[in-house]
Structure 1
Amino acid sequence: MSITTLKYTFSGHESFQCRYLWLKKGYDFIKNGGSFTKEDAVVELGVGKNMVGSIRYWMKAFDLLDSNDKLTQLGIKLLDDEGYDPYLENIASLWLLHFHLVTKGHASIYSLIFNELRREKIEFTKDSFLGFIKRLSEQTGTAINPNTVETDFGVFQKMYLRSESKDLDESFAGILTEIDLLRHKIVYTEIIENNKKKENKQEFYVIENTERTTLPSAIVLYGILQQSGTDISLNFNSLEQDPNQVGTVFALNRTGLLTKIEEIVSENSNVVFSDQAGIRELQFKNDSKPDPFQILDEYYGH
């Protein structure tokens, strides 16, 4: 099914980007019997009412909380005190969260940007993104509020873009800035307006396919397993280019994906990479595929 046939969800974050301590704070709150809908949530979490709603939203967007406000397997394994990385100190955990943010689709903007917009252009502006959403709305007959989408774009920017300001409090930084997926550049051009020359400033955002040296191959294998269903043989081109597949989600170039696959094969005896007659496939031996969380258990030493 095409990404563009899915239902779109914008807003819900109360204009707050997810911050580093929020997910652990939300996890502990729910584990200890808390409820985001009760009035005491403000006191228990120590944040304002809008932030309570935002924490709940981001936990669902990252697939740490299900639609019934129950902790997911990922949430428990990652954020429990005895979990993989409750305070998100390992960059692998940020890549893991990014993968779920895009593929879960709870927050539509992330799926649309990584799976769809980048197919049209590696570089984009806020206006070109809004134009993309407008076309999507017209094609699907879906009513989308442009002001809401513009707010979403601002939150997306804060989530991924490293701030150049040294004065910014790290606790306010977006949670995914460290994985360095989004770059920013400003281009100045001269335009004529009312017969006068005027300097025009355009801000471009860039998500370039690279080798992603900070992305562990174990997280790539986890992503492959999460998206492959029951398939035992996986086409390389699909892994590289299809929506919600690792090449697309992690913005890997071909060399980078091949390198990750070579590492996966060298570290997993039941995985082979076949390149015959121009057909390249990642294959699992003996019709046996590991559980995705088994890969994470081994990576994090659990």
Structure 2
Amino acid sequence: MPRGPIFQDTYKPQFSGHETFPLRYGWLKKAYDAVAERAGDPNSKTAFTSEDAIARFGVGKNMVSSMRHWATCCGIIADGEGASELTTTELGDQIFGKNGFDPYMEHPASLWLIHWHLAGRPEKTTWHWSFNNFPGATFERERLVRALEKVAEDRAWPRVSATTIRRDVECFLRTYAAKIPSGKTSPEDTLESPLSELGLIKAVGKRDGFRFARGPKSTLGNGVFLYALINFWKHYSTAQTLSFEAIAHEPGSPGRAFLLDENDIADRLLDLEEFTDGAFRWSETAGLKQVFREVSLEEDTALDHAVSDYQPKKTKAAA
């Protein structure tokens, strides 16, 4: 039986909002700045809907809408208290704020955090299902489309058309694998999304062939890994322990979303106790592999761990 948040009765699918444009370089910073400049304004959504929004962002109307969509899905901005208000998030402030760690997204930690918000969390249906529920390692574009159509049909999701799913899959693939240019494609449309730098999806063989690149991820820091682990744990279980099997294989887990193999996950879990000063620790007793936690699963704590990846690594002093 299929598992994960997408298969819960209360789940609401999302296959649109991006206006067919994948996330592009500079968009999150521009969206963040537009909202930050209007902090406290009960009508701050007008930053993306007013007549001068096109001139301010330097892109077309649909792209402006797409920028807001991606900034929201990536956890950089969020709805405010009022119906017409937007606000920056703590994650957005940490990356793009006045004293942000990575305003131009030059550090891999930023890319992994953004990817986690898209693939580790269930709001973006194609993103979450493809990384967490798709059964194969290699696939063709059409196979992914048909598989999602089958999920939508089985779940009886209303107002989900085949055309909408096809466009969403196209956008998904362009997010992680650069679109192959053609004579009808403008230079702007062939630009890679920053998430393509993660190398999670590779083009193989013929034009519509792709492969999920499962294995160790050298640019994924333990701070972002722990951030994802805490996020997953908080939604998955209230227990003080979490099994290796869940961390590695459960839909929505770090193992699934980051396409990690079991050896890499085990190595990271072994480092948890030292990395967190005992707040989290790995145990392997009588064949039972699990992580214990001595702290609550708080978003602020998770983010503190994530931003540690931006700090210079300390080296042990010579004896």
Contact 1:23 1:59 in 2 (8 A): yes
Cα deviation for residue 203 of structure 1 reads 2.7
Cα deviation for residue 249 of structure 1 reads 0.6
Distance (whole Å) between structure 2 residues aligned to residue 101 and residue 126 of structure 1: 19
Cα deviation for residue 170 of structure 1 reads 11
From 178, 181, 190, the equivalent of 2:197 is 178
Distance (whole Å) between structure 2 residues aligned to residue 177 and residue 85 of structure 1: 18
Contact 2:5 2:122 in 1 (8 A): no
Match runs of 1:1-302 below 5 Å: 2-5=5-8, 6-33=11-38, 35-68=47-80, 69-117=86-134, 120-143=135-158, 144-162=160-178, 172-187=191-206, 203-229=208-234, 230-270=238-278, 271-285=280-294, 287=295, 291-301=301-311
Distance (whole Å) between structure 2 residues aligned to residue 160 and residue 279 of structure 1: 36
Distance (whole Å) between structure 1 residues aligned to residue 284 and residue 270 of structure 2: 12
Cα deviation for residue 37 of structure 1 reads 2.0
Contact 2:6 2:122 in 1 (8 A): no
Secondary structure of the residue aligned to 1:269 is coil
Using the size of structure 2 for normalisation, the TM-score is 0.82
Contact 1:162 1:180 in 2 (8 A): no
Counterpart amino acid of 1:155? C
Secondary structure of the residue aligned to 1:36 is helix
Overall identity of the aligned pairs, in %:
26
Unaligned runs of 5+ in 2: 39-43, 81-85, 313-319
Deviations 1:102-137 (A, max 9, x none): 2333322101111111xx211111111121122112
Distance (whole Å) between structure 1 residues aligned to residue 187 and residue 241 of structure 2: 47
Cα deviation for residue 163 of structure 1 reads 6.2
Distance (whole Å) between structure 1 residues aligned to residue 171 and residue 126 of structure 2: 10
Contact 2:283 2:290 in 1 (8 A): yes
Contact 2:31 2:67 in 1 (8 A): yes
Distance (whole Å) between structure 1 residues aligned to residue 129 and residue 174 of structure 2: 17
Cα deviation for residue 298 of structure 1 reads 3.0
Cα deviation for residue 16 of structure 1 reads 1.0
Secondary structure of the residue aligned to 2:283 is strand
Contact 2:282 2:292 in 1 (8 A): yes
Counterpart amino acid of 2:270? E
Counterpart amino acid of 2:62? N
Contact 2:214 2:260 in 1 (8 A): yes
Secondary structure of the residue aligned to 1:186 is coil
**Closer, same or farther in 2 for the Cα pair 1:163/1:9, shift >3 Å?**
closer
Contact 2:176 2:200 in 1 (8 A): yes
Using the size of structure 1 for normalisation, the TM-score is 0.86
Unaligned runs of 5+ in 1: 188-201
Contact 1:61 1:104 in 2 (8 A): no
**Closer, same or farther in 2 for the Cα pair 1:24/1:150, shift >3 Å?**
same
Distance (whole Å) between structure 1 residues aligned to residue 286 and residue 145 of structure 2: 43
Distance (whole Å) between structure 2 residues aligned to residue 2 and residue 296 of structure 1: 24
Contact 1:3 1:115 in 2 (8 A): no
Secondary structure of the residue aligned to 2:209 is strand
Distance (whole Å) between structure 2 residues aligned to residue 133 and residue 246 of structure 1: 22
Counterpart amino acid of 1:172? L
Cα deviation for residue 255 of structure 1 reads 0.6
Cα deviation for residue 172 of structure 1 reads 2.6
Distance (whole Å) between structure 2 residues aligned to residue 150 and residue 96 of structure 1: 26
**Closer, same or farther in 2 for the Cα pair 1:104/1:206, shift >3 Å?**
same
Cα deviation for residue 284 of structure 1 reads 2.4
**Closer, same or farther in 2 for the Cα pair 1:171/1:77, shift >3 Å?**
farther
Aligned length: 284
Contact 1:232 1:289 in 2 (8 A): no
